[in-house]
Structure 1
């Protein structure tokens, strides 16, 4: 079923009907399509994405504080090959700018990132409103090279710049009753054409348990590749939680709220049977419509890239596995 959106002219499926590109770009699918004569359209779609990635991607520019040191946090640096900047900035999920992977890079130039304020509130002793300049000065910036795994079956390796979210949490001094942290993304119909659609219940909301938010690997990101965050990657500030699927890492934050209740998150509200609150990368728990056992690394070997085995907790099991001791990770997906 298609839902007609207002003003923007987009037709978007309901969330549970959006077929991820990784599903229809697999090698087996391609062979099947060739047999049915549909290969031409698929190859054209792939060629379009590749051409877009090869085009000159405007870079936001370096910022002096982003000359960051390598992180000393265990697990924060991997020796894997980095995803090319052009791929990391032209193949994105950011539904506020559209549901196609190319939409954020095409439409996000409309996002105004200055001035910008993040309100930190809820069950804290010291609620505060912070400008992006305040956030950049709050703690020393580090480079964190993290894997990013999308629920749709693709992955990247990105050098983020920021600091542990715990630095901000400590500043506002949460009350003992605070059990969860809720993140809210900007939802501005004028700046973000995707917000005009009804594909999600806007604004986009995500959340973490308090111990997840306090884990050293959970990053408040202000840059990537040594530069300011590009708009399509969540400028000017976002969260990066490397052991969870990418949709947990909320972008373009405007509010961080501490609460005693589990937040109602955007994708969980849209399709609870597909997107659980925890959303840890677990190759043993399939998405209802596809396997999570393997993944495709963006930028590797083009259309016929070999799929690689997905690692438990996206390869961060040694660092975060203890957070879920005794939990049924199939039930708490």
Structure 2
């Protein structure tokens, strides 16, 4: 049962363009990190490969080749455990995922606190193959395991006045000893309510048929495949329903760079072009492919943004 409770000058011709420098740096970083994919499983901590989940097949699948689990678990953004891509896999073993609860607050009929194991058994777990696109111009294809976020939102009984939902991630300085000091912790993200209720929005407990590795956001996260990866909050401990657009960590830090909506849009450049991405799969090195609008999910989600200027509401 789910439990409810209240609770020198240099000639310009000699300067390497920033985009070329970043692309080269990213390529070398990827090669160094991912070239070892064949032995990744022997280098990762035990927390990278956890208990099996009972999952059911889903209509959400792709013809794209999957990213091997060793690469998906070794190349991550999870700044609470370090800012380099390899840091989370080495450091996130300190995260304690039991006991774990999620507090539900804000504009709901009744505040509640839910245990992770109750969440796991609330609905059948589906295996959904989604593209995962990072604003740093790399992408993966991952079989995520969970159920539609809308299922849990309906259970929470938000009030009609709730227009947004905010996700707040775990922060524990004892378990995160290398926590960068320059960010406004805890990590926070948010969605408009209709986005959160979209069938593609996933409340996620695992990947590759196993419970989530710590570095991938254990024990519970959201996955929003049409948005940049940083919108998919990890290690969630609180969900708040609100009538105002909530603060989000990256939008607070650099609003000109990271918009609230953060939909994958190849026509909007960040610090480098987003027109192409480096797909990480079983190949020795990543290969470059064009970036698709909404990460290829336009048929499903474009109607959410009818009439919106997507260069203004980026």
Question: What band does the TM-score fall into relative to the shorter chain?
Answer: 0.7 to 0.9
Distance 1:81 1:211 in 2: 30
Distance 1:245 1:22 in 2: 18
Moved over 6 A (4+): none
Q: Indicate how the Cα distance of structure 1 residues 186 and 53 shifts in structure 2: closer, same or farther if over 3 A, else same.
A: farther
146, 170, 174: which one aligns with 1:162: 146
- Within the candidate set 247, 252, 258, 1:275 is matched to 258
Matches within 5 A, 1:204-215: 204-215=187-198
Specify which of 54, 72, 91 is matched with residue 67 of structure 1: 54
Quick one: distance in 2 between partners of 1:177 and 1:264?
18
**Alpha carbons 1:185, 1:204 under 8 Å: kept:** yes
Cα deviation, residue 48, structure 1: 5.4
Q: In the TM superposition, what is the alpha-carbon distance from 1:67 to its structure 2 partner?
A: 2.1
> Does the C-alpha gap of structure 1 residues 331 and 207 become closer, same or farther in structure 2, counting only changes over 3 Å?
same
2:65 match: 81
Cα 1:321/1:194, change in 2 over 3 Å: farther
Q: CA deviation at 1:234?
A: 0.1
Q: Matches of residues 222-261 of structure 1 in structure 2 within 5 Å?
A: 222-261=205-244
Q: How far 1:176 sits from its partner (Å)?
A: 1.1
Residue 22 of structure 1, CA deviation: 6.4
- What secondary structure does 1:212 align onto? helix
Return closer, same or farther for 1:53/1:248 CA change in 2, 3 Å cut-off. farther
CA distance in 2, matches of 1:129, 1:230: 23
Corresponding residue for residue 186 of structure 1: 170
SS, match of residue 129 in structure 2: strand
Aligned length, in residue pairs? 292
Contact residue 118 and residue 129 of structure 1 kept, 8 A: yes
CA–CA distance in 2 between the matches of 1:23 and 1:190?
A: 35
**Which of residues 290, 304, 308 in structure 1 aligns to 2:272?**
290
- SS of structure 1 residue aligned to 2:35: helix
Preserved CA contact (<8 Å) 1:53 1:90: no
What TM-score, normalized to structure 1?
A: 0.83
Q: Contact 2:141/2:281 (CA < 8 Å) preserved in 1?
A: no
Residue of structure 1 in register with 2:8 after alignment: none
In structure 2, what is the Cα distance between the partners aligned to 1:210 and 1:93?
25
Structure 2: segments with no counterpart, 5+ residues: 1-18
- SS of the aligned residue for 1:307 comes to strand
